Amino acid sequence: MDDLYVLKFGGNAIRGKEAMLRLGGEIAQMMKDGAKVILVHGGGPEISEEMERRGLKPKKVAGVRVTDADGLEVAEKVLSNLNKDVVECLTESGVQAIGMPGYHCTLCVKKAPVETEEDGKKVTVDMGLVGEVSECDPTALMDLLEMNIVPVIYPIGKDKDGNKLNVNADTMVAGIAANVSCKEMIAITDVPGILMDVNDPGSKLDKVTLKDIDDLIGKGVISGGMVPKVEACRKAILAGVSEVRMVNGTDPECIVADVMKEGSLRGTVITK
Ligand SMILES: Nc1ncnc2c1ncn2[C@@H]1O[C@H](COP(=O)(O)OP(=O)(O)OP(=O)(O)O)[C@@H](O)[C@H]1O
Ligand SMILES: [Mg+2]
């Protein structure tokens, strides 16, 4: 599909009705200009807050949430509720939308253990009930897009035996973007793009290559939630997505609408 944009937003970037309606307005504008849109959303802060309310301790390794059975239950409940809110806001913005879990269009496998450092020691962490996308069947998504309906997907997956898995939203969106032919994948986050200094919004890089990303991770410039995000961008690019971008969902001027303009320098563009 020529003008298909696969968008993803995180819970810090778009939070609350006002922000969702603003994004809805921009998606409505993009669709008037001929775009088709698939929307994937996360909900990191909301999940952490609900876990804390229930006395559970959120833990992330390399930006990805370690998930046990209780954590998975919380993630699924919070994400499915958020999904309803997103669909409602899109509808209110004049965009037809249908919500669904990731397992309606993907198959996942349990994520391999992650090597990290804890208290100065190298350790291997079993991430628990966390998934990676292994397959995506875009047939139903394509049917919805043909009817100008936006599929709104929350990142809960299932393995081949039907066990549910928590999937980082960036990982989910890359698994989907890699299997639909889209013009651009865009991660909407809470920073202007990849920054050389996380505390200085003016240090944004307009364009980076996969090689630059390796260097930036090696130097520790890219850390936390930015790690799965750039890894997701890498996966999408290697799978043939021609343009991958990161933009700021908290930008009062514009979030995504103007990326359809040729040569737009909004956010950070990642290329091979
Ligand atoms: N070099 C960097 N440039 C920009 N942000 C960075 C960098 N290194 C680390 N970060 C962190 O990555 C964060 C974005 O990832 P994060 O996972 O927190 O958000 P999200 O994926 O948009 O939302 P969520 O995970 O809640 O769905 C930024 O807020 C910033 O703190
Ligand atoms: Mg994240």
DSSP state of 146: H
DSSP string, 194-238: SBSSTT-GGGB-SEEEHHHHHHHHHTTSS-TTHHHHHHHHHHHHH
Q: Is 12 in the pocket of ligand 1 (CB under 6 A)?
A: yes
Domain of 231 in residue numbering reads as 4-271
What confidence score (pLDDT) does residue 227 get?
A: 92
Q: Is residue 1 predicted with pLDDT exceeding 80?
A: no
Q: Is 64 in the pocket of ligand 1 (CB under 6 A)?
A: no
Tokens found for residue 215: 């260097």
User: Which residue has a Cα nearest atom 20 of ligand 1?
Assistant: 10
Mean pLDDT check: name the lowest of 27-31, 98-102, 165-169, 253-257: 253-257
Q: Report the number of distinct structural domains present in the chain.
A: 1
User: Which residue has a Cα nearest atom 15 of ligand 1?
Assistant: 225
Give the pTM.
0.95
Q: Is 213 in the pocket of ligand 1 (CB under 6 A)?
A: no
Q: Residue 14 — very low, low, confident or very high, per pLDDT cuts 50/70/90?
A: very high
Model confidence pLDDT, tens digit, residues 84-123: 999 999 999 999 999 999 999 999 999 999 999 888 999 9
Q: Tell me which range, 25-29, 225-229, 262-266, is most confidently predicted by mean pLDDT.
A: 25-29
Q: Is 264 in the pocket of ligand 1 (CB under 6 A)?
A: no
CA of 60 to the centre of ligand 2 (A): 10
Q: Residue 265 — very low, low, confident or very high, per pLDDT cuts 50/70/90?
A: confident
What confidence score (pLDDT) does residue 133 get?
A: 97
> b vs e for 211-228, b when ≥16 Cβ sit within 10 Å of the residue's Cβ?
ebbeebbeeebbeebbbb
Ligand that lies nearest to the alpha carbon of residue 79, given by its number in the listed order: 1
Separation CA 45–CA 28 (nearest Å)? 26
What confidence score (pLDDT) does residue 113 get?
A: 96
Q: Is 42 in the pocket of ligand 1 (CB under 6 A)?
A: yes
Q: Is 63 in the pocket of ligand 1 (CB under 6 A)?
A: yes
User: Which residue has a Cα nearest atom 7 of ligand 1?
Assistant: 222
Model confidence pLDDT, tens digit, residues 46-57: 999 999 999 999
Q: Is 243 in the pocket of ligand 1 (CB under 6 A)?
A: no
Instruction: Please report, for residues 29, 78, 96, the alpha-carbon distance to residue 26 in angstroms, rounded to integers and kept in the order given.
Output: 5, 25, 14
Q: Is residue 132 predicted with pLDDT exceeding 80?
A: yes
Ligand that lies nearest to the alpha carbon of residue 224, given by its number in the listed order: 1
Give the mean pLDDT of the chain: 95
3 state SS for 79-124 = HHHHHHHHHHHHHHCCCCEEEEEHHHCEEEEECCCEEEEECCEEEE
Instruction: Please report, for residues 60, 115, 128, 213, the alpha-carbon distance to residue 164 in angstroms, rounded to integers and kept in the order given.
Output: 19, 24, 11, 31
Q: Average of pLDDT values for 234-261?
A: 92
What confidence score (pLDDT) does residue 242 get?
A: 86
**What is the amino acid identity at position 62?**
A
Q: Is 222 in the pocket of ligand 1 (CB under 6 A)?
A: yes
DSSP state of 176: H
Tokens found for residue 44: 């990191």
Q: Residue 164 — very low, low, confident or very high, per pLDDT cuts 50/70/90?
A: very high
What confidence score (pLDDT) does residue 241 get?
A: 94
Percent of the chain with pLDDT over 70: 100
Q: Is residue 262 predicted with pLDDT exceeding 90?
A: no
Q: What is the CATH number of the domain that holds 101?
A: 3.40.1160.10
What confidence score (pLDDT) does residue 261 get?
A: 86
User: Which residue has a Cα nearest atom 10 of ligand 1?
Assistant: 226
Model confidence pLDDT, tens digit, residues 232-246: 999 999 999 988 999
End-to-end alpha-carbon separation of the chain, Å? 22
